[in-house]
Amino acid sequence: MLTLYGTDLSSRLLLGTARYPSPAILAEAVRRSKTEIVTVSLRRETAGGKAGGAFFDIIRELGVRVLPNTAGCHSVKEAVLTAKMAREVFRTNWVKLELIGHQDTLQPDVFQLVEAARILTDDGFEVFPYTTEDLVVGEHLLSAGCKVLMPWCAPIGSAMGPQNIPGLRAMRAEFSDIPLIVDAGIGRPSHAATVMELGFDAVLLNTAVAAAADPAAMAEAFANAIDAGLGGYLAGLLEPRDMAVPSTPIIGRGVFA
C-alpha cells in the first residue's frame, strides 16, 4: 500500500493525460493501467478554450484522483497562480509543482521550486515537487513542507531512462521514510522496473504511454513492470559480483571413474 498525504493507494503508477490520440484511448489506457491518480495540466488544457472544458469532464468521468500540475510555469508567481486556479477547478489541495528553469532540458529551477513550495504549503496545498536527485534540494523541499519528492531520472519526454542510478540510490537511502516518485524520462517498462528495484515508491509517466502505437497495451505493460520491480526489491535482489559463483556446490559432487 502506498500512502501519499494520508491517502492510501493500491497502484504505484501515476499517469499523465496529455498527447493521447483520442479521449477514448486515454480512458482505456487509464483503465488498463489500474492507476488511481492522473495528472492534468491546467495551463495546457485551458488554452484549448471550450475543448478544455470538455476535457475536464472526461477526466472527472474516469473515476480516479486528479493531480493538477503547473506544467509550463517559469516563475513562482505563475506556478502559485496556476495552483490556486487548479484548486478551484478540481476541488483538491494536491498539486504537482513544476517550475522549469532550462528550456532545452526542462530541468526544474530548484531555487524557485523551494520558494513556491513554501508558499503553497503555507496556503494549505499538499505539494508534489518535480525536482532533481540533488539531496540538498530535497532537504530544502522537505523543510518547506513537502511530504513527497518527485525526482527526474532523465529530461521530460526523452525516454532515456535512469541516467544517474547512483544518485537515485543515494536519494532513496537519504530519504528512507519519504515517498519518492520517479517523474520524467521513463521510456520503457524496463526503466520503470529498474527504478522500482532501487526501492522507489512509484513512477509517474506520460509520453511513453501516450505516444506508443498502442497506448492502452503500453499502460498495462508499465503497470506489470512496476509490480515486478517492486516485487523484486521486496524479495531481496542479488547484487552484482565481480567473479563467477557456481550455482552447483562442488563439495560432494559425484566422481565417475
- Residue numbers belonging to the annotated binding site: 157, 184-185, 206-207
Q: Looking at residue 38, what is its pLDDT?
A: 96
Q: Looking at residue 254, what is its pLDDT?
A: 60
Nine-digit cell string for 34: 489500474
* Total Cβ atoms within 10 A of residue 82: 23
d(CA 111, CA 6): 27
Question: What is the set of active-site residues?
Answer: 96
Quickly state the pLDDT bin for 239 (edges 50, 70, 90). Answer: confident
Mean pLDDT of 170-193: 97
CATH architecture for residues 2-235: Alpha-Beta Barrel (3.20)
Return the axis-axis angle of helices 23-33 and 215-235, rounded to nearest 10°: 20
d(CA 201, CA 251): 42
In the chain, what percentage of residues exceed pLDDT 90? Answer: 79
- Residue numbers belonging to the annotated binding site for 1-deoxy-D-xylulose 5-phosphate: 157, 184-185, 206-207
Strand order in the sheet with 13-16: 150-151, 126-131, 94-97, 65-69, 37-41, 13-16, 202-205, 181-183
pLDDT score of 256 more than 80 = no
Q: State whether residue 67 is helix, strand or coil.
A: strand
Q: Cα-atom radius of gyration of the chain, to the nearest Å? A: 20
In the chain, what percentage of residues exceed pLDDT 70? Answer: 92
**pTM score of the predicted model:** 0.90
Q: State whether residue 161 is helix, strand or coil.
A: coil
Identify the CA nearest to 183 among candidates 202, 210, 163, 164. Answer: 202
Q: Which residues, 6+ apart, have CB-to-CB distance to 44 below 8 Å?
A: 18, 71, 72
Is residue 109 within 8 A of residue 101, CB to CB? The reply is yes
pLDDT score of 183 more than 70 = yes
Nine-digit cell string for 46: 485551458
Identify the CA nearest to 170 among candidates 193, 149, 146. Answer: 149
